[in-house]
Structure 1
Amino acid sequence: MDNTILNFALPAIAQELEPTSAEQLWIIDAYSLMLAGLLVTAGSLGDRVGRRKILLIGAVGFMLTSIAAVFAPTSEWLIAARAGMGVFGATLMPSTMSLLRTTFRHRGQRRIAIAAWAGGFAAGGALGPVVGGFLIEHFPWQSVFLLAVPMVGLMLIGAPIFVAEGRDPHPGPIDGWGIVLSMLALAPLAYGIKEAAVTGWPGAIGIVTGLVFGWLFVRRQLRIPYPMLDMSLFRRSKFSGSLAVNLCCIMSYIGFLYFVSQHLQMIVGLTPMAAGLALVPGAVCSVVAGFAVTPFASRFSAAVVVPICLAIGAAGLVLVAFAGAGDVWMLVVAFVIMGGGTAAAQTVSGELIISSAPSHRAGAASAISETAYEFGAVLGTSILGGILTAWYRAALEIPYGVPEDLAAHARETLAGAMNAADVLGGAPGTALADAAARAFDGGITATSLIGAALLVIACVVSATTLGRSRTVVSR
């Protein structure tokens, strides 16, 4: 929720702090880059010093950096606070998931816990626009950062009481060079993927840099006696297959949210809050589906349950592709189907990730899972969003009589086209807006089919790698 809410606060932040265009991007990206770069490190530290301890330290740090963001007098201060939130946020995500392994020993209970955990992510992402729209309408922009404070406060009270500590009994020394190499691999890679579709070579340089340091990191982990990341986990078919499922699900899910939010606001004309409310049924279905799938996961093989869930998710995207995005209710129904299917699949695959890894490596396994989640979100926006943009630009037919400068703005983005249409006004403006809507909706069709294809690929992967897994108790 924290990330999606910030998008609504950015205009108000820009008015008060007056950041440059580059600083605005860093206000958004500082959090995600630090988060992606430190997830593996945080998971490894949790295995060594205690996952609950890391969770509580991260919670305190996240609360303090959120408060620091509230009092930011300059854009540089806010960027630093956002980076700090990313550092401490990286400790929260793998710790919470890995602690489910130690807190819920019975596999059936653990599936329900993971359903709640995954449902919280899905609901937070979808409800962010609703909460963000409400806060920005009624309160200053600083309120979006205060939202985390009471939630973290509840965690600090409840975790010491209800959550059992868990760590590797024989952790070995902390791998300092491994920490540095993992950061130099993951942060540039995440940045490069995000920027490649927009800036070209600078993004490609980030990808190459990340891959080089990633190779050095893997090489080191394979050679040292106490690696921070156990590379043998990837040889477990259930672990690797579940990671692939989660990656494809997140790519499709984020890609859907990317285009549907623009369509609802810029073409249909809904306010940000109304557009967010249109996504609430899908978010609710995602939460419900995660719980509903747990009895089936206990009775049937994951190699059966997960492909069925993924096929349901793909059907939602196919519905958008062939029924069109013009009807708001059609999009709502499609999100209900797609969100429910992918959430159910991720509940089962998420449980397989932490149960297929040894208990003393639960933190590292969870960190890998969260890294896949982050990169799935980045890929969903950059690749599927890039395909949508390319289709839009190729399909847009500029009506006769539109000045070249406005035509150039219209070709750049859908928002540029709608702004140009407002400037033109009258019949020419209406014609340009209609042409932009047709081109964008054609891109939605193409993007939806590609997202559905990703889920079909995940169906095949899950059917061939997850095998039989209906063990009642994890040992």
Structure 2
Amino acid sequence: MSLSTDAIATDGPRAGWRAWAALTVLMLPVLLVSMDNTILNFALPAIARELEPTSAEQLWIIDAYSLMLAGLLVTAGSFGDRIGRRKMLLFGAVGFMLVSIAAAFAPTAEWLIAARAAMGVFGATLMPSTMSLLRSTFRHRGQRRIAIAAWSGAFAAGGALGPVVGGFLIEHFPWQSVFLLAVPMVALMLIGAPIFIVESRDPNPGPIDGWGILLSMLALAPLAYGIKELAVTGWPGAIGIVAGLVFGWLFVRRQLRIPHPMLDMALFRRRKFSGSLAVNLCCVMAYIGFLYFVSQHLQMIAGLSPMEAGLALIPGAVCSIVAGFVVTPFASRFSAAIVVPICLAIGAAGLVLVAFAGAGDVWMLVVAFVVMGGGAAAAQTVSGELIISSAPAHRAGAASAISETAYEFGAVLGTSILGGILTAWYRTALVIPEGVPQNLAGHARETLAGAMNAAEQLGGTAGGALAEAAAAAFDGGITVTSLIGAALLVIACVVSATTLGSSRTVASR
């Protein structure tokens, strides 16, 4: 096997102990934001029982956060380059904490959706800052690989630990506690960031591109909204997709013409950069889609308590963290075009296991998550480092924002498309047994939680039959979505094998 061209790149100066302390602080917002992508999966049944959202509102409670993040990440990254990335990080942390408190006291589903959207606004200021600060802190290539492995591990672990922490909190406290978790994490960040993190910004940022900012928001937000609606309501969502693509074309056109673009479009001509983005998008989509259905299956079908269901995912969470560090020495020695496809193939095997073995065995789901989570996390560690190293240092914030947009769009697509397909399959496959009143049948057709609540209210033979029918319909949808997730990782395998082996020179650091 040939050595990776990245492995022989010139190293910068090595960082000292303060840099590793800064890394610890930077992992806090990564954990916080990624946990918020999945922590509601386990709180959702409790929220559904109290606030009684419709199936569309239930998806919006999860997706409003990711949609706002996706729409604002590029803008936030550009502002961080200008005003200072540490300053942007602290601003976002305070705002995130305040709106999390507001979400904890939501009296209605609509209030909670609005609060989740506001959390996404402030979350957008956190993620690009962490990655760009990490780059400015670690200039030695070997150290940066380790730091990015830790960053990727924190992101993967946050996504996996969200249900674990959520399960613990829901078992011992009201569902509002999942939002109050942000308070102590932000407090630690506000203490550590001024001490250990050195401010960085673009020394020559150029003028603020107001039209570019507007066009980026008009492109990303409608596109994400349209994708979500397409999965739930069908063709009406195409309007948002078309609008997003039109504004996206106008945004790209403007960035190519102005002398100081907020987003360097030349980055996308780098095969490694674009290929790594595609890998991250597919990995996150499959990962979040898995957590969306497994959290519901473990609680509402397997009958585990929230805490027990969370504990079942701990082996996968640990494997997701460890995999990033295990793959680092291989990424230093061998081409990414070899390492990443192998990792993705391992991840796809985990999803295929779910599809063909069925979701009925809890231990099989645990093993599948270990295999899938480990493979996806290892692939993202390598591809994430390639994204960082491909961008010029003075555009680190904007490049990081592109990377985070891929992550967040993956989260949106994981819940919206895979979740929408699962919901559509469930509704089509569900056969309402005889003896179920019309009003309870309506609730059962909406969501799995609605069906299980209806079965509990009905009781007796009819209630048991409804619960069995709902479980069969939902697990049939799991088989379909698992195969789709596996197909996504196979596509990512092909993309990584054909793009990440490029011998293009790494951009200056």
Q: Which residue of 2 is the match for residue 97 of structure 1?
A: 131
Q: Which residue of 2 is the match for residue 266 of structure 1?
A: 300
1:44 to 61, 78, 81: 78
Q: Which residue of 1 is the match for residue 210 of structure 2?
A: 176
Question: 5+ residue gaps in structure 2?
Answer: 1-34
Query: Residue deviations 1:306-365, cap 9 Å, x none?
Result: 011001101111111121111100000000000000000000000000101111111111
Tell me if 1:167 matches 2:201: yes
Q: Which residue of 2 is the match for residue 443 of structure 1?
A: 477
Distance 1:446 1:291, change over 3 A: same
- Any conservation in 2 of the 1:40–1:368 contact (CA below 8 Å)? yes
Distance 1:360 1:393, change over 3 A: same
TM-superposed deviation, 1:403: 5.5
- Any conservation in 2 of the 1:107–1:473 contact (CA below 8 Å)? no
Q: Which residue of 2 is the match for residue 256 of structure 1?
A: 290
Tell me if 1:157 matches 2:186: no
Name the CA distance, whole Å, in 2 between partners of 1:287 and 1:209.
38
TM-superposed deviation, 1:253: 0.6
Q: Which residue of 1 is the match for residue 263 of structure 2?
A: 229
Q: Which residue of 2 is the match for residue 312 of structure 1?
A: 346
1:120 to 140, 146, 154: 154
Query: Residue deviations 1:65-99, cap 9 Å, x none?
Result: 44455677888876665444322211110110111
Q: Which residue of 1 is the match for residue 251 of structure 2?
A: 217
The aligned runs of 1:51-450 (5 Å cut-off) are 51-69=85-103, 81-139=115-173, 141-200=175-234, 202-399=236-433, 406-450=440-484
Find the residue that maps to 1:293 and give its secondary structure.
helix
> More displaced, 188-197 or 56-65?
56-65
- Any conservation in 1 of the 2:231–2:421 contact (CA below 8 Å)? no
One-letter amino acid of the structure 2 residue matched with residue 97 of structure 1: M
Percent identity over the alignment is 88
Distance 1:348 1:399, change over 3 A: same
One-letter amino acid of the structure 2 residue matched with residue 275 of structure 1: A
Q: Which residue of 1 is the match for residue 19 of structure 2?
A: none
Name the CA distance, whole Å, in 2 between partners of 1:63 and 1:466.
38
Name the CA distance, whole Å, in 1 between partners of 2:466 and 2:61.
33
TM-superposed deviation, 1:126: 2.1
Query: Residue deviations 1:179-227, cap 9 Å, x none?
Result: 1111122122222222222233553332222222222211211111111
- Any conservation in 1 of the 2:78–2:397 contact (CA below 8 Å)? yes
- Any conservation in 2 of the 1:298–1:470 contact (CA below 8 Å)? no
Aligned length: 474
Tell me if 1:454 matches 2:488: yes
One-letter amino acid of the structure 1 residue matched with residue 74 of structure 2: V
Distance 1:390 1:162, change over 3 A: same
> More displaced, 378-387 or 27-36?
27-36
> More displaced, 226-235 or 342-351?
226-235
What's the Cα RMSD here?
3.0
- Any conservation in 2 of the 1:36–1:90 contact (CA below 8 Å)? yes
Query: Residue deviations 1:343-388, cap 9 Å, x none?
Result: 0000000000010111111111110111111111111122222222
Distance 1:101 1:440, change over 3 A: same
Distance 1:292 1:37, change over 3 A: same
Query: Residue deviations 1:406-459, cap 9 Å, x none?
Result: 555444433344344435443343333333323322222222111111111111
- Any conservation in 2 of the 1:66–1:81 contact (CA below 8 Å)? yes
Find the residue that maps to 1:375 and give its secondary structure.
helix
Query: Residue deviations 1:269-311, cap 9 Å, x none?
Result: 1122221111111011100111111111111111111011001
Distance 1:257 1:100, change over 3 A: same
One-letter amino acid of the structure 1 residue matched with residue 471 of structure 2: A
> More displaced, 190-199 or 230-239?
190-199
Name the CA distance, whole Å, in 1 between partners of 2:368 and 2:437.
38
Query: Residue deviations 1:123-148, cap 9 Å, x none?
Result: 22222233233334444555433322
- Any conservation in 1 of the 2:168–2:306 contact (CA below 8 Å)? no
Distance 1:407 1:139, change over 3 A: closer
Distance 1:236 1:194, change over 3 A: same
Distance 1:71 1:254, change over 3 A: closer
Distance 1:284 1:474, change over 3 A: farther
Find the residue that maps to 1:226 and give its secondary structure.
coil
Find the residue that maps to 1:351 and give its secondary structure.
helix
Distance 1:97 1:340, change over 3 A: same
Name the CA distance, whole Å, in 1 between partners of 2:296 and 2:45.
17
